[in-house]
Chains A and B, each alone.
Chain A
Amino acid sequence: MRKLLSMASALLLSAIIFAQAPTGGVTGSVVSRAGRLPIPGADLVISKDGVIVATSKAAEDGKFLISELANGMYTMDVTADGYKDLVVNVTVDKGYVKDMVFVTMNPDTQVESIDAGSFTEFDMDDSGYNDNPTILFSGNDPYNAVAGYGFSNIRFKNRGYNSEAQDVYFSGVRLNDAITGYSPYSLWTGLNEVTRSKDNTTGLEASEYGTGGYNGSTNVYGNPASVRKGLRASVLTNSSLYRLRLMLTYGSGPLDNGWSYAVSASARLGGNDWIKGVYYRSFAYYLGAEKNFGNGHNFAIMHFATPGQRGAQNASTQEVYDLMGDNMYNSNWGYQNGKVRNSRVRKTFEPVTVLKYTYAPSGDFESNTTFLWRTGFNGYTALDWYDAPDPRADYYRNLPSYSFANSDEGDDQNARYDYSYNELNDKGKLMYEAWTSRSEDYRMYQHLDWDRLYVVNSQAGGRAKYAQEQRHVDQNDFNLAETIRWNLSENLTMNFGANFKYNRTENYKRIADLLGAQYYLNVDSFAERDFAINEAKIQNDLDYYLDNGLQSQKILTNGKYGYDYFANVIKANVWSVQNFSKNNWEASLAFKVGYESFWREGMMRKGLFAGTAEEVAMINLRLPASQKLSPVYDKNGQAVTSKGKSAVQQFITGSVKAYVSRTFQGGHRLYANAGIFSDAPTFSEAFISPRTRNTVIDGLKNKFTYSADLNYQYSNKGYNLRFTAFYTKIKNQSDVMSFYDDSQNSFTNFAMTGIDQRHMGIEFGFSLPLFVSGLSLEGALSAGEYIYTSNPYMVQTIDNSAEIVRESIVPYWSEVPHYATYEENGVIDFDSRVDGSRIQTGFTKHYVPSTPQIAAQLGLKYNINYWFFELNAQCYAKSYLDMNPLYRTDFANKGCFDEYGNLIYNEDVNKGGHAHFYYMTEQEEFAPVFLLNASIGKSWYVKNNQIGFSLQVNNITNNRNVKTGGYEQTRLQNSADKSLYYRFQSKYFYMAGINYMLNLYFRF
């Protein structure tokens, strides 16, 4: 009754407001996207500025008519059982009844998309690289609808951008990771139902929550009132990630008393068919309550988390995959007492609490004030060992290629693994046998041998030689966001706001499992190799050592050790987006100005970097003569410190965006965006070795991005397409790659500055009804060129010292030159100018890696009687391997140039010359991929309840040779005569073969 009254009031109010205005209306047919089948009974609600002004229901043939609307812009919400909710904008002009012809809805019985963030955890921690695919959400965009889920299995990065280029909001608060910038989907993965309602923008479009970046934005509403009313339960099983997902959600919807509440819980459990050791034991919960107090006041509180653990997958070399006969081999696990145990497990519990106050005294004004707090822990286990053999089965010295490489001085290419068994020496043959025998007696050579680790520890007098550590990145992220929407006039809406973020993240590691030992000694085993004579210098926690009678700290289970520091980040900004609309024109102008600062605060005083001269002088008073320490200085003469606060890095940031759109009769729309961004480097891009010291890379500056796109959209009569061309330049990025280098017996850090990229390409998405009722053709194409356009400057350091190991430009980072040749008397050589220099004829570009630069999908969808069928084909091409800078330096290409610096002509890859140079410098391109996928689903309505299922089968052709990523190892192998360097074999990740996902759902 109260609802009816409020609706009546709203209608009355709107009638008064618009009494003097000329009236028009809107008409059309509500149809299914697949085949334009009418959807009788669909509910239509017309609102203006949040106030309902009209309602209607679609007739048996799907048709509807809503009249007596004043000129202006409206929002029309369309809902129907079995279809996804739809929101469309409607403009009534000059008192005409606008014929929308078809209002197309997507069936809700499609394949359940996998949870955002539920990608296989790629174990990249010690490689120096990272891997973060972009996740797109469909909204009503035909490209995103296909690419968003369809391309995710190849870990597609939209437009080649890193995930930090995509702004992800929760309840209006930008939640990209403060330290890395990565998107934060893992915070709510498994809570699909309560995070289903979201706003998306594409590319450069601005949003109501902020100006956004250049790779779109997503705002998850997350408030209880946005959760669909009713009880929903689902059971999902799939064969590529986990066995089972259970999900139960209840949403009250807005109640008469103004309250709304929602609860949700889910569990994801088990292993999968493809990658042994990868498993989930993850849970999720959500609790939310919201009260509409009337008079425009609304308050919501939400709390959610995804506690649990999941096993990670490691990359291996192709040699290892071939020896195992399985591209899904995962070196992270092994047997303990006959049971599988993964050494790399992500363990998280990061609860998020949100308080949101909304004040909307009228439809023209809405203010949202949101406080969001993220806390908890995020740990990642790994094996640690002290002065003991590397326990990993696929350690390169355990592989036949290692013995093969050392067996023949005349052909000593270490990376070579195209050997035949007969070419191997005795050692190599035994290594080959150890890897290829499938007898249980040999599995300790193919996987981690946990049992041996326990035996070693049991004989080490209590001290752990092997332990399982847990590396923590525990965030405390405080956010305050204010957004205001103000409709200044019929043609002008202004959104503006302010954001403040304070993030304090503790980075440390602790002992997760002593593997049968009693303690782990808190000394720096890497430093010990170089400075063993000075016990003070190798202490990870020098203060403990000084305070405890010069005894190294014995770490028990759960004790912190190794490193412990806080990353502190402050971000504040104000922004504004002004939207103008007039007739068929729309435009917006957005800007943002911000301040960012970050600093490191070390909690452990490392013996290597004990402090300033004054601090070291005080420390030395407490040390014997044989252990005196000296202050360490960087190249700028600054003392290198490990404990205490670093210098605060401060940046002014900003962005400006412009958008213009023209809608034409017949459903055509042409629009364009442009933007300039000045972004601060992230904490993770700035500190050379945050585990050990307070030093940031030299020349830390803002990165600048210039981006523009031009778009054409057609949406009419069930046809829907978008075509976009985009162009982006990113200038002056920095990056730090840190990885364990066993040749240095230390972590090595490559700090690169001045990395420029250019991304340009097209996007095309479409949905076309076909001649058979219920049948449609859908497709998406992303084709671009994402390349490096500069040669960055590289500084290599190791954790053991402040000394710069190497610094130089990386001359072959962005491209590799090719030169003219000539032939004389059957001998080929490079042609030269008079001054002797080579004549360049072209170059090979180097590409932004880890995503296909061409991705396409074409599929047929058929809907009939609540059944749906889909068959699609996908093609991916021009995907490249992540590069390391070392291989692209002159240093690594020794022997390839003559005394004047000119490339030597030599076709033998094992001799100094151009063949070897190209082998070292050129980037690996992955083979193109073709995939076939199918799905089927059906839902039944029993009274008001819905039961349904969907089954999807991916990679039907069982293609098990699809590389989804990988990286070059950042190591060099000297040739036997030391005249050349060779690469180490690259490591790869592969996509699972044929896999299924079955979802059963119940909606009450």
Chain B
Amino acid sequence: MKQKYIALLAAAALAGCNPVEEWGPVFTGSHDEPSAFQPAQMEANISIKDLCKTYSQGVPHKMAGNHIIAGKVVSTDQPGNFYKSFYIQDETAGIEIKMGRNGLYNDYHLGQTIYIECNDLWLGMYGYKEGNYGGQGMVQIGAKDVTGKYETSYLESPLMIDLHVHKGALGEAVEPKVLAEAELPKKNDNQCTNSNVGRLVTLPGLVYTDQAFVLLYPDPNRPHESTDPENRLFLSSDNNNVVISNKANWKIFTWAMSKTNIIEHLENGDWDHATIGSGQSDFGPITGQVSATGMFKDCKHSSGKLMTYKELLIKNAAAQSVSQYFKMGNTQIQVRTSGFSKFADKAIPSDVLSGKRKVNITGVLCMYQGSIQMTVNSLDDITYEDGTPLY
């Protein structure tokens, strides 16, 4: 009997050892909540504008000199109209930080101060185009782009982000600056020459100009560069590259187009007259069969009959960005919206489309090939001229 007790006591003693830690490394008790967020304490030693001035046209460079910029976050990717990056602004300009992560708004909040330790990051430009029809783009901060396609690439690496992008104190959302037409940048302006570029601004009294621009791909999973015209469908111009009425020709009355929206347009026959390719490489209307010798020669029905471009467009439909064009006085303003934004399919009110009513648009003012491009955070940033909400 004594042995029984000894055995049971031994088992109980073992069982009683450290019952919570359970012979680490496993902890299975209740976990305490971690400590609260501690903002970074840093100081900027260069303005965004001055940093941008270190950029030479067409020559992206790896930054040195222990520069630190500080700015408040003015964009959010929450509604999905900004993608994998955010803008910060100081008193001198704003600049895009190409992060390469989704859901940035969870970590980088509107109004929060962000410090960028610039050493080893790259400064480059996106959207510059030479010539009379071109102009300036936007100076950006990112990583080196080794493909050579762009001047910078996304940071992406979590360690790279943590080493260079520091989260400062949370703050109130930045109030946009209301601009007059005279304050708008010209085609050769960028952050170095116009302090409104890259910043959150309100452009009042914009009138719709009945122009839209969309680029669709019959199969986005095949090559679709400018050298692959058979896989490109422009909805903006006629066969002679003359921009034509959106209302009469494309019927795109939403800010952008989700996949469902695109399929509806195609099935309704709204774009049956649109032609694949561009001026010199015209593959005919989308209702025609794909070229028997082109890149879609393998796209056939089970009967062996070649598919039409329209059928391909429906089959491979994906959300697409749309540019809707407005005017502020005599200056053209492009409002570009992502097809993945949550308000992509929101219809533009008919009184705006008809030009009867003007709108005020608040967004980040960007330059693309010398043109002004506004990107809004949400549809709350677009109101009628008198300030009443659009929706």
Contact = CB atoms under 8 A, between A and B. Distances in A.
Nearest to A406: B147
Interface of A: 231, 233, 235, 243-244, 246, 248, 267, 269-271, 276-279, 281, 309, 311, 336-337, 339-342, 387-390, 397-398, 402-403, 406-409, 425-428, 430-431, 433-434, 442, 445, 450-452, 454-456, 458-460, 465, 516, 528-533, 899, 942, 945, 947, 974, 976-979, 1002, 1004
Given A244-B23, A434-B159, A459-B37, A465 B260 contact: no
Nearest to A390: B102
Contacts of A459: 37, 106, 109, 170
A431 B11 contact: no
B216 to A, nearest CB: 16
A974 B222 CA distance: 9
Interface stretch (B204-212, B268-276, B342-350): B342-350
A233 B27 CA distance: 27
Contacts of A947: 3, 7
Given A246-B14, A309-B28, A533-B346, A425 B144 contact: yes
25 contacts: A233-B7, A243-B22, A244-B14, A246-B14, A267-B15, A269-B22, A270-B23, A387-B106, A426-B120, A426-B160, A427-B144, A427-B157, A428-B157, A452-B107, A459-B37, A459-B106, A459-B109, A465-B103, A530-B258, A532-B258, A533-B258, A533-B345, A899-B297, A947-B3, A978-B224
B170 A387 contact: no
A342 B29 CA distance: 12
Q: Find the residue from B7, B35, B319 having the highest chain A CB count within 10 A.
A: B7
A310 to B, nearest CB: 10
Nearest to B3: A945
A552 to B, nearest CB: 14
B26 interface: yes
A425 B152 CA distance: 13
Given A235-B14, A531-B260, A533-B343, A389 B106 contact: yes
B129 interface: no
Given A397-B156, A445-B158, A277 B26 contact: yes
Contacts of A979: 222-223
A334 to B, nearest CB: 11
Contacts of B221: 974, 978
Interface in B53-90: 78, 80
A430 B147 contact: no
B200 to A, nearest CB: 20
A884 B343 CA distance: 36
Contacts of A244: 14-15, 23
A454 B34 contact: yes
Given A279-B26, A339-B27, 6 more contacts: A269-B23, A455-B37, A456-B107, A530-B258, A533-B344, A945-B4
A246 B15 contact: yes
Contacts of B344: 532-533
Contacts of B258: 530-533
Secondary structure at the B interface, as helix, strand, loop or mixed, is loop
B340 interface: yes
Contact of A458 (B10, B37, B341, B343): B37
B26 A340 contact: yes
B143 A427 contact: yes
A458 B35 CA distance: 11
A271 B25 contact: yes
Nearest to B18: A270
A427 B155 contact: yes
Interface in B237-286: 258-260
Nearest to A402: B156
A249 to B, nearest CB: 12
B223 A445 contact: no
Contact of B4 (A271, A433, A529, A1004): A1004
- How many interface residues does chain B have, given as a range? 35 or more
A704 B36 CA distance: 60
A908 B340 CA distance: 37
Contacts of A403: 156-157
A231 B224 CA distance: 76
B182 interface: no
Contacts of B341: 532
B40 interface: no
B85 to A, nearest CB: 14
Contacts of A530: 258-260, 319
B278 to A, nearest CB: 19
B101 interface: yes
A777 B290 CA distance: 72
Contacts of B7: 233, 947, 1002
Contacts of A341: 27, 31
B342 A532 contact: yes
A397 B31 CA distance: 29
Contacts of B80: 529, 532
B102 A389 contact: yes
Interface in B309-366: 319, 340-346
B146 to A, nearest CB: 5
A977 B231 CA distance: 13
Given A246-B11, A977-B223, A271 B26 contact: yes
B22 A279 contact: yes
Interface in B1-56: 3-4, 7-8, 10-11, 14-15, 19, 22-28, 31-37
B391 to A, nearest CB: 9
Smallest CB-CB A-B distances: 3 pairs:
A532-B342, A271-B26, A279-B26
A389 B4 contact: no
A355 B233 CA distance: 72
B163 interface: yes
A847 B292 CA distance: 39
Given A244-B15, A459-B170, A271 B24 contact: yes
Contacts of A269: 15, 19, 22-23
Contacts of B259: 530
B298 interface: yes
Interface string B105-129: 0110100000000001000000000
Contacts of A426: 120, 143-144, 160
A521 B22 CA distance: 36
B121 to A, nearest CB: 9
Contacts of B157: 398, 403, 427-428, 430-431, 434
A235 B31 CA distance: 29
Given A389-B106, A430-B157, A337 B23 contact: no
A374 to B, nearest CB: 26
Contact of B160 (A243, A408, A430): A430
A204 to B, nearest CB: 43
Contacts of A442: 159
A233 B101 CA distance: 55
Given A427-B156, A454-B34, A243 B23 contact: yes
A859 B157 CA distance: 51
Contacts of B37: 455, 458-459
Contacts of B103: 387-389, 465
Interface in B176-226: 221-224
B266 to A, nearest CB: 14
A235 B143 contact: no
Contact of A279 (B28, B35, B155, B346): B28
Contacts of A235: 10-11, 14
A389 B158 CA distance: 11
A459 B167 CA distance: 13
B11 A233 contact: yes
A279 to B, nearest CB: 4
Given A398-B158, A445-B158, A456-B106, A430 B31 contact: no
A248 B159 CA distance: 51
Contacts of A248: 8, 11
Contacts of A454: 33-34
B159 A433 contact: yes
B223 A978 contact: yes
A408 B146 contact: yes
